[in-house]
Structure 1
Amino acid sequence: MKILYMTLARIGDRSFGGAMRANYIYDALREVAEVETLVIHGGPTFSLDEQMDDRGIRTALISRWGLSIGALRQRALLKRWIASAIRLGSYDLIVAQYVGIAGLVPAGERDRLIFDADDFVKSAVAGTRQSPADRLKLRVRNLVARRLARQALHVWYSNPTPEHSPPSERKSWLPNVVALPDAERLRLSPTPGRVLMVGFFSHKPNIDGLRWFCTNVWPDVLASVPEAKLHAVGRYEEADAASLPCVNFLGYVPDLPTAYDEAALVIAPVISGGGTQIKVIDALAHGQPTLVSSFAHAGFADDLHDGEHLLVASSPQEWIERCIWALRSPEQIATVAERGEAIVRRIYGSERLKALVKDTIIHLRQSASSRSKL
């Protein structure tokens, strides 16, 4: 079997949640099929690889996005590049991540498309006012996602809540997972008062969530816990850092487990976007006390329970009270974190996702073989 894999993440990059998922899927596909890959990524200049590298990977760099003339021209060239690759590759299946990538697959080829709809339904920041144009863009984007789900051969989705279920009978749940750190590693003691958020802060839902936390929660936390410090690990934009002076933006760190160990509390105040928040289970996998929004919790609510494995907050007042309690009650919150780590290690290891990916491919291959014999 020969598969074309289309993704936004560079192969080998596991520095943020979406890249983890992309690479786990890639690893699983290669165990059951010959895989060639198109990586579609942002870059300073527009370029389209003419030849695959020695790993069977071609890369497209897109320098303009949106509806400008330059962006539309790049999109048209990108679609022709993808159509040509599909036509010449003689692929049995096409696996495409996310709505934006799956939508580039020609309509006539979608009967062999596996649509990884990790971000299937997107939402706006709760409680904020949107312009009519932004509301329209979000509505159109979600309509496109539903159309792709109905056209695809099979759909993977990560968020098990009903409103995020794709409108297709040919679908299966593919949960987000994490690489489990060494349980026997030497762990550093947490720094009292240190609060940490880990994420790709160039991604709008992450920086919006952090900004919401800084505005609505952090001042009251500091008033009660003056020694508290707020750190952020992950790629960020300089303009965002300048507008949030209460945050110590660390960028990429070579030793993420140590950054987790040194935190007294990890937060995930994400209140918009799509899919499920890998940062939630990543923090728990590292054994860290974790406080998350009800939005971030929703995708894991069946397995991770408020007060038992982590803390969940909805309103600013809940966030304030639970953040202060966690920082002032290190022994109690450590017990919650221990239970959270145990269940994440049991349920959300990367081997689970890879097994489910392989099950889908094997099932589709067997179904195709049965039809060919009729």
Structure 2
Amino acid sequence: MSKEQKNSDRAKSLFQFGLRPRLLAISALGMITVLTVSAISLRTIGTLGHDVELAARLSTMLRNQGDADMMHDALRGDVLLAMLAESPEDFEPVLADLDAHTAKFQESFSANEAIAEEPKIAAALTKAKPDVEAYISKAKELIVLAQEDREAAKAAMPSFYESFGELEGGMEAIADILERHAEAAGAMAEHDISTARTTLFTLITVGAVVLALAGLFIARSITRPINKVIALGQHFAEGDFRGRLEPIGGGEFEQLRAALNRMGDDLSDLITRVSRSAGEVASAATEIAASSEQMAAGMERQQRQTGQVSAAVEEMASSVTEVASKAAEASAKAGGAGEQAAAGGEVVAR
């Protein structure tokens, strides 16, 4: 069996369904398309939500890192102010700032440790944490030493700057890693948005085309049988009951086809019977007309015979009248002769 024949048989098998299954099929196809688009949309929303969450988290970490960098510099400023303090009153604001800056530094650094999910960021924070603790500890020790012995504190400044530099390198490394991850997250978000836009557009376009083609196919599968039914009905209206419908589908279409074909058969039988009856009536009418003509001819012939009889009767009546008249005349003459004979007898007698 060829591919074209297989496709034709498959298409014919689809036309065997009734009207209700066809409408349900197009509805189901529409629902599948909507559900598919919805599923892809939800997945896209989830992906974009993850991208937004990642971007927000990295933004928070960059802000925390910025605060930690500022506190890193602020602690150095506190140490320098302690070196310039002349009296205990001068040390009071320095100590207050030291406590505030230390707390903010530790808070920002710990916040990043708590929300860091990327291995590289977590490793950089873990690596820098001892330097942070050492730097804060040296800053506090140096300020306390400056209160007791400024010269000794000044002598310890190179060690403090060394700790400051080591931590600065670690802080810069953390900032660089965070910035790279933030840039990657931004690029990923843009890529996901572009992919989602392309995917949804493609899916909606394909779905619309599939629905349109399916709609045309279903509409054609419905209108073609209906057009055949209309054509057969027009033939019936014109008095041609010879046409019959071939199979036009299943379900309601098959019922309609069977009903119309049965109606055509019934009408054909009815017309045949009516035609036969009309022929019989016409034949009887012809015979009646012939009998009427014969009766009319007989009546005309009888009328002529009746006229002849009437004329004969009239002639006989005239003859009878004439005979009667002559008989009366003869009778009168006979009576006169009798009287004359009687008179003659009397004469003879005398």
| TM-score in terms of structure 2 length | 0.20
Structure having the larger proportion of residues in strand: 1
